[in-house]
Amino acid sequence: MLRLPEIREQIMAWSDGLLDRDGLYGSYRMAKGRRPDLYSSLDMALTRTVMGEDLLTSLSERQRGEWVEHINSYARGNYHGWPGDGSYEDTFGHYPLHANGMVIGALGVLGGRQRWPCRLYEPFATPEKVAAWLEGIDWAGQWRASHLFWGGMHCFSFSRACTPEWIDTVIGWLDANLDSDTGWWRKGVAHSDRHQPLGGSVHIVPIYTHHGRTFPAPERLIDSTLALQLPNGRWLDMPDPNPTHYLELDALYALKVARDLVPNYRRDDIERSLDRYIAVVDDYWATQRDSLLALHPHRILSAAGILGLFQQHRPEQFPDSRTWSDIFSDRSLYRTDRVEVLG
């Protein structure tokens, strides 16, 4: 049985072995014997937050300061007099805007600030620019492209430089281009494979919930997400034995957002879907937890978010003294206005 308090303790014990004892606090590595890296340190800040830890109170000021210093050591700033774009290096193969979203999340829960102004927002930072930028997204392959939205536009929407007019423009474009038959973006575009609409659209939905807007097609989002579930209980149709992939996180979040809006719609179908998937994760944790804990911390972040969504869907079945969250719904991971440096 999946017991959140025990899992939380096991993840913390595992992560303790990834800390660089000779470096700054928060200098995590992907595995023992490897160098500390940016994403491992970001992942652990977010994972500990998702598991219900308040780093602002659980850590000393020195620990938080060192963690922030380590993260900002990867910031790209001025180079021989040329202004940098405020992005971060060592991004584990992700877009600079994805790393930006991760950095904002980590610095926000640590009480830190970015070292340099972020100029990555400039291509879409005004109402006049943003529609053209949205038109240019690869909507057929939107799963990866949506990281630009999540770490870019969504984070910018909480910037002190963002305006209500900008948010209205974005929501208006999204509403107009949502496929009302599926609950996915973008209508009229054929997706390159079955994973694209779920993995892409779920990175966009939080801008609705975080700004008090109503997602316009919750019933279709439920229909499409349930239809995508495989006979084995998973959503990812790839040879990956670990069932806590980010696409599974995406599915659980989509169902949670949509059912909150229409709580009586296909309620029994959603519960049966959860039963099937929870059984898969339960078996994997019971028999192969060492395999999970051998993965990069970025995969532990997805697993923690999945467990957090289990608790959100079924709080009685997944109790803990702490309230778990996930990377999409947790507003504390989007404190752009607190961490940004304008200039």
Domains and CATH numbers, the chain: 4-339 (1.50.10)
DSSP helix, strand, coil percent of the chain (3-state; round to 5)? 55, 5, 40
Residue 110 predicted with pLDDT over 90: yes
Q: Using an 8 Å Cβ cutoff, are 284 and 301 in contact?
A: no
Average pLDDT, integer, range 283-311:
96
Percent with pLDDT over 90 in the chain: 92
With cut-offs at 50, 70 and 90, classify the pLDDT of residue 207.
very high
Half-sphere exposure of 59 (CA within 13 A, CB side): 20
Comparing 29-38, 103-112, 247-256, the range with the smallest average pLDDT is 29-38
For residues 307-329, average pLDDT: 98
pLDDT at 79 over 80: no
- Between these two residues, 77 and 34, which has the higher pLDDT value? 34
- Compute the average pLDDT of residues 22-31: 95
Residue-wise DSSP of 156-206: HTTSTT--HHHHHHHHHHHHHHEETTTTEE-TT---SSTTHHHHHHTTTTH
Instruction: Determine the pLDDT at residue 240.
Output: 84
Amino acid at 49: T
The pLDDT of 136-158, averaged and rounded, is: 93
Indicate the pTM of the whole model: 0.96
Tally of CA atoms within 13 A in the half-sphere of 201 that contains its CB: 34
Average confidence (pLDDT) over 215-229: 98
DSSP 8-state class, residue 80: T
Parallel, antiparallel or unpaired: strands 184-185 and 178-179: antiparallel
Q: What's the confidence (pLDDT) of residue 78? A: 58
Task: Tell me the mean pLDDT in the region 75-93.
Answer: 77
User: pLDDT at position 145, please?
Assistant: 87
Q: Which residues contact 174 (CB under 8 A, 6 or more apart)?
A: 134, 185, 204, 207, 208
Q: What would the mean pLDDT of 33-57 be, rounded to a whole number?
A: 97
Alpha carbons 219 and 223: distance in angstroms, whole number: 6
